[in-house]
């Protein structure tokens, strides 16, 4: 159920102020320490940012897709690591439970995820199974009233701080969707260990690492929905929603980059005038703004279709492909407008240039989006 206009406006205003007054001033410190201050985490919890997409029945805000992407566009205007901390709880770390969990699983985990007391993590990618998720090797073998998990997951967002892992594992050997199941595995379960935190090109403060299962025994009640074979289909549904979320994040980041580029261009003078008066600089600003408008329109249109109950697999892939590529181009132009200054860390565009590169890779690479778009388009016109 959608929020009334006044309530949504108040929420967006509160998030916008939080980003401007608290998160943006903390960006430099985050870039150097790689840690989000505890007082900021507490404020994120108070604002309800961990439970945007979780029903009020479980303590969340219960936003629909359009409302969620509008909030995320605001969060996108600061370092992506802040959004990443709450992002798994909003999306891939909770939505498998929302979509397919048993009543007991929902009651046990969703309130804690919504409050931010528990950080969720989505463990799908493996060393030899990234884009080709069907090739995952992590196994789950039934042993009485337990399952025994063995395998390694790689580049798992928020794994170092997660309290709950949604783990995709093979419960049958055949290469088909029905061979993959999802398990809810709590941190601290014997047999579950974490690798060293990854050192990344960008997104300092967004933590990832390997997750290793070595004869990790979990009760049968950990099987999502109490049913084998539904994990892959659930994962794909979760990723459809997640792709719209990431697309909205790119829209917000592009807006921040354009704003920073325009500010610099109007203040920086060359040949006795602001460089914003140079037509080739104006062309870069114009191209960036036009692409931002196109991406924002796409995301809002797809979100509204999803809220109407339509299948948005095609639209979500189109948004993910266009918005992530768009923000990369905008970041590149922002650096170019800054000139040499854009290559030093004194200016935020240097950091964002590195940060946004990841958007074209996770939750489905650009190449995977192209395959999805082609498949769905051929299906639609055949």
Confidence of residue 1 (pLDDT cuts 50, 70, 90): low
Which pTM was predicted?
Answer: 0.95
Q: What is the mean pLDDT of the chain?
A: 95
On the question of pLDDT at 26 being above 80, the answer is yes
On the question of pLDDT at 177 being above 90, the answer is no
68 SS3 class: helix
pLDDT, tens digit (0-9, with 9 covering 90-100), for 294-319: 999 999 999 999 999 999 999 999 99
The predicted pLDDT at position 271 comes to 94
Q: In this structure, which long-range contacts are made by residues 40-47, counting pairs with CB atoms below 8 Å and at least 24 apart in sequence?
A: 40/82, 41/85, 41/116, 43/18, 44/82, 44/85, 44/86, 44/116, 45/115, 45/116, 45/117, 47/14, 47/15, 47/18
User: Poorest-confidence range of 42-56, 148-162, 231-245?
Assistant: 231-245
Confidence of residue 174 (pLDDT cuts 50, 70, 90): confident
Confidence of residue 283 (pLDDT cuts 50, 70, 90): very high
Share above pLDDT 90 across residues of the chain, in percent, rounded to a whole number: 91
Active site residues: 363
DSSP state of 378: H
Q: Distance (Å, rounded) from C-alpha 323 to C-alpha 254?
A: 9
Residue 217, strand partner residues: 148
User: Poorest-confidence range of 2-16, 241-255, 321-335?
Assistant: 2-16
On the question of pLDDT at 74 being above 90, the answer is yes
The predicted pLDDT at position 167 comes to 96
Residue with the bigger pLDDT between 58 and 4: it is: 58
CA torsion 188→114→105→249, rounded to 10°? -90
């Amino acid at each position: 159920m959608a929020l009334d206009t006044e309530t949504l406006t108040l929420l967006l205003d509160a998030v916008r102020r939080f980003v401007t007054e608290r998160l943006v001033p903390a960006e430099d410190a985050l870039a150097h320490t790689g840690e989000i201050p505890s007082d900021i985490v507490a404020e994120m919890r108070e604002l309800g940012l961990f439970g945007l997409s979780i029903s009020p029945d479980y303590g969340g805000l219960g936003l629909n897709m359009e409302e969620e992407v509008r909030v995320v566009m605001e969060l996108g205007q600061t370092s992506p690591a802040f959004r990443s901390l709450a992002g798994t709880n909003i999306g891939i770390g909770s939505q498998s439970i929302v979509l397919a969990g048993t009543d007991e699983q929902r009651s046990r985990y969703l309130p804690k995820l919504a409050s931010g007391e528990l950080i969720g993590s989505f463990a799908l990618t493996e060393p030899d199974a990234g884009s080709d998720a069907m090739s995952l090797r992590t196994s789950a073998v039934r042993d009485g009233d337990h399952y025994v998990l063995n395998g390694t997951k790689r580049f798992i967002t928020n794994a170092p701080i997660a309290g709950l892992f949604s783990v995709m594992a093979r419960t049958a050997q055949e290469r088909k969707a029905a061979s993959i199941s999802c398990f809810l595995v709590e941190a601290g379960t014997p047999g579950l260990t974490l690798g060293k935190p990854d050192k990344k090109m960008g997104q300092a403060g967004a933590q990832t690492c390997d997750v290793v299962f070595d004869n990790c025994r979990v009760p049968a009640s950990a099987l999502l929905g109490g049913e084998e074979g539904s994990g892959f289909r659930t994962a794909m549904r979760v990723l459809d929603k997640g792709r719209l979320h990431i697309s909205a994040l790119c829209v917000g980041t592009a807006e921040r980059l354009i704003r920073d580029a325009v500010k610099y261009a109007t203040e920086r003078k060359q040949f006795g005038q602001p460089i914003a008066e140079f037509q080739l600089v104006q062309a870069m600003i114009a191209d960036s703004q036009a692409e931002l408008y196109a991406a924002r329109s796409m995301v809002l249109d797809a979100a509204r279709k999803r809220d109407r109950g339509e299948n948005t697999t095609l639209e979500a892939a189109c948004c993910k492909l266009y918005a992530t590529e768009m923000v990369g181009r905008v970041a590149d132009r922002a650096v170019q407008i800054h000139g040499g200054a854009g290559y030093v860390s004194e200016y935020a565009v240097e950091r964002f240039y590195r940060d946004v590169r990841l958007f074209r890779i996770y939750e489905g690479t650009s190449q995977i989006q192209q395959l999805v778009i082609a498949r769905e388009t051929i299906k639609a016109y055949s």
